[in-house]
Structure 1
């Protein structure tokens, strides 16, 4: 599996992945680590943001649109609509803060049930910040048990050291591609985009018009 963070219209499949979880669990850092391979401190997300990542899986070229949501409750109604059409959802928590793990059951799994429009959507539980092992408040076994209860994939990783970061996104993508209905959706999204590009009027650079 190879990857690129550049943008291109030359791809075979397009998938939407959504990251949810409490504020400051490292959702934005996980995305930046995956997209650019860099490790940096990220300011809290305000509302919703997204990043693009191009991957090649086998002979298929993929575009991932990865949506990053704010964990604060005041943004909850704003982000609810972004569950729509997601083929993959990552429920993230901080292994050093037990309340972020507890809230997966009390808040976030309920939000998925309420707002996710895709019954075949692939879900993954991700415990971040394993580089701070001495501060760990949630065991790997607890994470595995909750993932089993939710019917989710499971990974522990560190956005800071990049441990397992690529693996968690790549594994999620692989699983999405194994679901026929999601594979079909990914293909339809590409066809719609191509059609839209063809329908958009081509404006001349020297027409003197602005839009």
Structure 2
């Protein structure tokens, strides 16, 4: 039985882990999306106390993987804390509410922060998410506006509703696919040309000039 327990633990820990960070202004529904994805329930009034981390085993295109979701509270006023969160993430859901234009404007600043922290990485897996799509009558952000911003950034734009669960799975799974693709291409580089090393030394040479 001992070996069985050991192999079970090993199995759990040998699953690929994809680390997702929820980013966006307060009140846009980051926690509601996270909890809907995790537990299939809609939580309307979630107390935004602190950042919370969730882990779940899911099947991604036939492969068992684990997703780790860090739901940031938006109250991370200390840049150092926020930077640490962003550094630890492999992919980002950049969430705003379609009913609040200010939260859409804020996504540009959040994206800048992510790019700054992840400066040495090429393409960062990121989706722009317009939440609260069930509140169409209160929409302040036109679909075209959000879509063209996402196109400008070279990322996907998806509208979700944590309330009706519309596209909730889609954004998490699409993001995991992007994270997986990035890991696979990085592994290929590592095993193949060791291009990462060349890139770095090239950068260093640039600095010397």
TM-score band w.r.t. shorter chain? 0.7 to 0.9
More deviation in 53-62 or 32-41?
53-62
Which of 94, 99, 103 is equivalent to 1:100? 103
Match of 1:159 in 2: 162
1:59 Cα deviation after fit = 4.0
Aligned mates of 1:114, 1:148 — CA distance in 2: 20
**Conserved 8 A contact 1:87-1:120:** no
Partner residue of 1:111?
Answer: 113
Could you tell me whether the CA contact under 8 Å between 1:176 and 1:183 is conserved in 2? no
Per-residue deviation, residues 120-157 of structure 1 (Å, max 9, x unmatched)? 32010000001000000001111111111122221101
Q: Which residue of 2 aligns with 1:54?
A: 57
1:84 has 2:84 as partner:
no
> What displacement does 1:180 show?
4.0
Residue 103 of structure 1 and its aligned partner are, at CA, apart by 1.0
Cα RMSD of the aligned pairs, angstroms, is 2.3
Cα 1:124–1:43 shift into 2, 3 Å: same
CA distance in 2, matches of 1:82, 1:73: 10
Cα-to-partner distance string for 1:85-113 (whole Å, 9 max, x where unaligned): 422111100000000001112x2111112
Q: Which whole-Å CA distance do the structure 2 matches of 1:34 and 1:182 have between them?
A: 28
Q: Deviation at 1:119?
A: 3.3
TM-score (norm 1): 0.76
Q: Give the TM-score, by structure 2 length.
A: 0.77
Who is 2:207 aligned against? none
Query: As a proportion of its length, which structure holds more helix?
Result: 2
CA distance in 2, matches of 1:182, 1:15: 15
Measured after TM superposition, the shift of residue 42 of structure 1 is 4.2
Partner of 1:207: none
Cα offsets for 1:146-192 (capped at 9, x unmatched):
111122221101001111101111111122222245774xxxxxxxx
**In 1, are the aligned partners of 2:134 and 2:163 still within 8 Å (CA)?**
yes
Distance across 1 between alignment mates of 2:126 and 2:177: 12
48 and 63 in structure 1: CA distance in 2 versus 1, 3 angstrom threshold? same
Report the 3-state secondary structure (helix = DSSP H, G, I; strand = E; otherwise coil) of the residue aligned with 1:9.
helix
Report the Cα distance in structure 1 between the residues aligned to 2:141 and 2:79, rounded to whole angstroms.
25
